[in-house]
A and B are shown apart, each in its own frame.
Chain A
Amino acid sequence: MFSLEDITQSVHNWLYETMHPTLALMVEFAIIGVLVIALFAFLGLVLVMMERKVSSWMQLRLGPNRIGPWGWFQTVADTVKLIVKEGMTPNNVDRLLFNLAPILVIIVSMVIMAPIMFAKGFQIWDINIGVLFVSAVSSLSIIGILMAGWASNNKYSLLGAMRSGAQIVSYELSAGLSMLTIVVLTGSLKMSDIIQAQETGWWLFKGHIPAIIAFVIFIIAATAETNRAPFDLAEAESELTAGFHTEYSGMKFALFFLAEYVNIFVVCAIGATLFLGGWMPFHVGNWEQFNHIMDYIPTSIWFFGKTFFLIFVIMWFRWTFPRLRIDQLLNLEWKYLLPISIFNILLVTVIALAGWHF
């Protein structure tokens, strides 16, 4: 059966057979770098297109439909436009920080890619603290946003960045706590262990009510962390025109834009890994026959299917809900989500200790 694991393994073996180990490692780094950048470009094109098609479908429109079949090459044209556009740096901005901010943001979203398992055995770095790594690195992107907002020397940008800071710092908490529920159930921070633990069923179904609560909180917090509506206060276009990236144009703006979409992909991939089993096919307990049939679907399709389903849910939110106000946003986190998460983690600890989950 077709498997990405075999390909990576044979490339790995071939490199180490023909080259000096250090050189082989370097070549592997280069390959991974190229693949990640390719994935970025691919995700940028596909997710932007998906967003536009989903929104047009929800808004009685056709969406882009001129370039290519059903407008599928619209995003390619957009990319070309953004690349050839002048990347303006306004006067009186802090040039270093202004130019550094988009790069920082994009690097952060690249780094989070590392522990994600795209298919069985197809992973950049199976670090033993995978979940911790993700939650630690993802909170770095706020630095880029604050930099952009401060360096722009624009009041709208500053307000947007401050909102974003308050928002991401708060929602980190409940996102982390809901991720912790699964860690408690699995007993490991390693991504591959978490996925392997779901061989007899996904945690969403195995983990009883606490897992479902954690999943809902995770989705809310993930939406907030990626600055998507209804939590898009950082760039609330009806209030702050474009928030922290008001002064950016051309490719620098495109990097923010790309980082936003890649971040959506990353948080959805994490959500899919933790709650929906990552690449693990849909297994039910010990129904050998059923599980065997499910195994025929390639693991990469399972992973991307789940991830894109979650991405669709987040897009669905965006085109349905109005935006919260900043105080309501913080109230929601500190008065509702955080206490529920804390209570939930106690509950799940009891369940895990008593072994009540399936």
Chain B
Amino acid sequence: MYRETDIIQTIPGTDEMVINVGPQHPSTHGVLHLVLTINGEIVKKVEPHIGYIHRSIEKMCESLTYRQFIYSTSRMDYLAAHTNNHACAMCVEQGMGIEVPLRAQYIRVLMDELTRIASHCLWWGSIAMDCGAVTPFFLAFREREMINTIMEETCGARLTMNYNVPGGVMADIHPTFQQSVKDFVRHFRSKIDEYDELVTGNIIFQSRLKGVGKLSKEDAISYGCTGPTARASGVSCDVRKHFPYEIYNQIDFKEITHTAGDSYARYLMRLAEMRESMNIIEQLIDNIPEGDYLAKTKAVLKLPKGEFYSRVETPRGELGVYIVSEGGTTPYRIKFRSPGFSNLSALDHMTRGHKIGDLVAIMGTLDLVIPDIDR
């Protein structure tokens, strides 16, 4: 039976229709909700609706002490929990003036880089899956599993590590840590070449990504993009280089930038970052100095009155932690400047005029993690 209300409605006066992508959709990797205005296959407008898993971590942190609040940040960017904890611990250390032992600094950097590889592995699998190839996802999980095992040995957890505490790390590294990291790097060096053979060289994959979702350098800066997204557009914004924390200023590593600014550049960017992370790990793994892994701190931490901002290069970009302290044991106000939130704001600009299939590829290369956006 045909009724006027039954048929799919277009926006009056145009051929455009509005379509909801998400909150439950295979390519949004979480509960992101995009309202697309499309004309046939062409995307005219993307309007992100977020907040489906907003837990208001910022508000919760206001009633948690400086030791406690770090744990809730693991749940922000759950694929790179270590870097989140790192930024928070650094911010507290900065406020308290705690000197972190060199051993702890080495361990933190090693863990950061392992986290980066693990996160990029998952991203690599999911971008391939967004483009329709399912198999790479399983290959990437094989390598990610090795990192998770290393994390489990030392930190006791696989995903939400909570390994960083103000003053250092929670426990010393596992006796087999160095050996298993070395094994992993040796294994991964050959596997990442396999990744290139399987996906990077594929002509379909290249044609899906090349020239898609261009983001100029000016736009990348204006939209506040950071991390691989911005560096693929030629913005030199690696926090590890420009605002070195821990021992990054003693490590010899390159900041990789591309100038194309399209999805393919972002793809190459992250693969190159994985290789660079392995270089960093190889430089550090044999030279972890002996000594304390945790500085002596008071039982109750009280930050002096003031404002503190610390930043860390997470796999997705610059994570800033802004603490306003009134001198008490809990933060007065805390703000997490999450990289995904700013990167998401550029999505509309990048996607307009492209096809629906491109939207998925662009979202994939932006590497959005929804809890990181929602906080």
A contact set with B: CB distance below 8 Å: 55, 58-61, 92-95, 153-156, 158-159, 162-163, 229-230, 232-233, 236-241, 319-328
Contacts and interface: CB of A to CB of B under 8 A. Distances in A.
B121 to A, nearest CB: 14
B260 interface: no
A307 B11 CA distance: 48
B205 A325 contact: no
A60 B128 contact: no
Contacts of A319: 133-135
A65 to B, nearest CB: 16
A276 to B, nearest CB: 26
Contacts of A233: 357
Given A60-B139, A239-B357, A326 B41 contact: yes
B2 to A, nearest CB: 7
Interface string B215-247: 000000000000000000000000000000000
Most buried by A among B25, B139, B202, B204: B204
B257 interface: no
Nearest to A318: B134
B98 interface: no
Interface of B: 1-3, 5-8, 17, 19, 25-27, 40-41, 128-135, 137-139, 142, 198-199, 202, 204-205, 207-208, 355-360
Nearest to A59: B138
Contacts of B19: 155-156, 159
A326 B26 contact: no
B207 to A, nearest CB: 6
A159 B41 contact: yes
Nearest to A242: B26
Contact of B357 (A154, A237, A321, A326): A326
A92 B134 contact: no
18 contacts: A59-B137, A59-B138, A59-B139, A92-B3, A94-B1, A159-B19, A233-B357, A236-B132, A238-B27, A238-B129, A239-B357, A321-B132, A321-B133, A321-B204, A322-B132, A324-B204, A325-B208, A326-B41
A61 B142 CA distance: 11
Nearest to A58: B135
Given A94-B1, A94-B2, A326-B41, A232 B132 contact: yes
B332 to A, nearest CB: 43
A32 to B, nearest CB: 37
Contact of B133 (A158, A163, A241, A320): A320
A326 B42 CA distance: 11
A92 B5 contact: yes
Nearest to A323: B132
B8 A229 contact: no
Contacts of A60: 138-139, 142
A162 B360 CA distance: 19
Contacts of B130: 238
A322 B128 contact: yes
A211 to B, nearest CB: 25
A319 B136 CA distance: 9
Contacts of B6: 92-94, 153
Contact of B355 (A162, A232, A327): A327
Contacts of A154: 8
A120 B26 CA distance: 47
Contacts of B357: 233, 236, 239, 323, 325-326
B358 A325 contact: yes
Contact of B134 (A55, A153, A236): A55
B139 A229 contact: no
Contacts of B128: 322
Nearest to B126: A238
Contacts of B199: 322
B371 to A, nearest CB: 20
Contacts of A230: 132, 204
A116 B2 CA distance: 40
A232 B139 CA distance: 22
A153 B133 contact: no
A155 B138 contact: no
Contacts of B358: 325
A87 B356 CA distance: 30
A55 to B, nearest CB: 7
A322 B208 contact: yes
B204 A153 contact: no
Most buried by B among A159, A323, A325: A325
Contacts of B204: 230, 321-324, 328
A229 B7 CA distance: 30
Contacts of A325: 207-208, 355, 357-358
